[in-house]
Amino acid sequence: MSLGHACVDVYQGAVAALVPFFVSERAYTYAAASGLVLAASLLSSVVQPLFGALTDRWAMPWLLPVSALLGGAGVAMSGVSGSYALTLAVVAVSGMGVAAYHPEAARVARHASRGSHTAMGSFSLGGNLGFATAPPLVAAVIATGGLGATPLLVVPALVGAALCAAALRALEAPGAPKVSDAAPDANEAGGRDDWASFARLSGAVVCRSIVFVGLSTFISLYARQRTGGGEVSGTAALFVLYLGGAVGTVAGGRLATRYRRITVVRWSYALTVLAVAGVVLVPGPSLYAFVALTSAGLYVPFSLHVTLGQDYLPRRMGTAGGVTLGLTVSIGGLAAPFVGAVADAASLQTALAPLIALPALGWVLLRTLREPEPPALPAPPPPADREAPPEARPPTGPADEPVPGGETRRQPW
């Protein structure tokens, strides 16, 4: 599941990684380039809660390999046509595939992990590694033949679909928790849904999302300006932003086992305020250190958002997973065109400056939240007895030995 998540989230990172190449090869403005991010995010934002609601009612594990293929196909076709409208359309299809994947994947991963914060951190880590892989992968593909080589980007989707199918087969094996039975009817699930707390958590997730998408869309171009480097410096900045998330996600799962999740999430948002300020205001090579710090601050609460949301909505885990895991990225794309428009009118630094305030707003929303009680998960099935009971075994000796009293005694061999 973690490796399949990595393959799917390559396509969330790939859209932002393609932006500088669309700017250089097709002379897109900042607003036009950020429109591609909007196209991937808008449809995703609309359909993701729908898929979450569906997975609350019915288990749909088949969505995992199908959505992986859909996400890859859209990005693979993005550079084939010179038409801006067609490029928007195929990127939107990719966004829909990614949207369909996350609610069901979060449900299946939580079921397989039996509520373990560390295991869910590993699942989220897979997605973060997919993000981190996107910039060098896109740069390598574009280097072979420009934007016309984007069909090569379908390869991770093929691998991801195969991995998802293998994971589902393993979960349906004898003795494994049946993933097809993991979506109980909402009226029969235990616990109460705390929509007020979930709404505040979702507000913080939106703040985090706008910061992340705003930086991932423009950090490559911004790093070139602030460091005076070329394409390599921009790709390196985006790679650091994504790769630092791997460290942050692992740290988040570990910290949550020692401290309360809410405490860890609050401190992460507070750290992100200072880190984003450094990215926007500090020039030169030290920019990369603040990018790494920002990445850690944004990603430490990443998997914790998912488990908190599912514990606030124990009867709607699909919806909770779709909002906290999928919309974490997609909803921020709705603000990307506004950031691009300000950058066109003024400068990238002016456009990115408001991002400093958003983690602070997220911290305010989280300040009064309480740690929820985790829902009761089904107990693991008892191990299958691999050996037949003694009375069912055939005789292994030549014959049973009669003993006084009319009884028989099994020969020791």
pLDDT of residue 178: 57
Domains of the chain: 2-366 (1.20.1250.20)
**What is the pLDDT of the chain when averaged over all its residues?**
79
The yes-or-no verdict on residue 392 having pLDDT over 80 is no
- Helix H or strand E segment including 132: helix 117-145
- The neighbour count for residue 37, using CB atoms within 10 Å, is 29
- The encoded tokens of residue 252 equal 């988040």
pLDDT (0 to 100) of residue 411: 44
Among 40-49, 289-298, 344-353, 394-403, the range scoring the smallest mean pLDDT is 394-403
Contact between 158 and 72 (Cβ < 8 Å): yes
pLDDT digits (tens, 9 = 90+) for 348-367: 889 999 999 999 999 999 98
Select from 208, 203, 283, 197 the least CA-distant residue to 248: 208
Contact 256, 269 (CB under 8 A): no
Per-residue pLDDT tens for 64-111?
Answer: 899 999 999 999 998 887 788 898 889 888 988 888 888 788 778 877
| The pLDDT of residue 262 is above 70 | yes
The pLDDT of residue 277? 94
Tens digit of each residue's pLDDT (9 = 90 or more) over 238-253? 888 887 777 777 777 7
- Scanning 259-326, the segments in alpha helix (DSSP H) are 261-281, 287-299, 302-312, 317-321
Asked if 304 contacts 325 with a C-beta cutoff of 8 angstroms, the reply is no
Query: How far apart are the C-alpha atoms of 20 and 167, rounded to whole Å?
Result: 35
Q: How far apart are CA 353 and CA 282, in angstroms?
A: 12
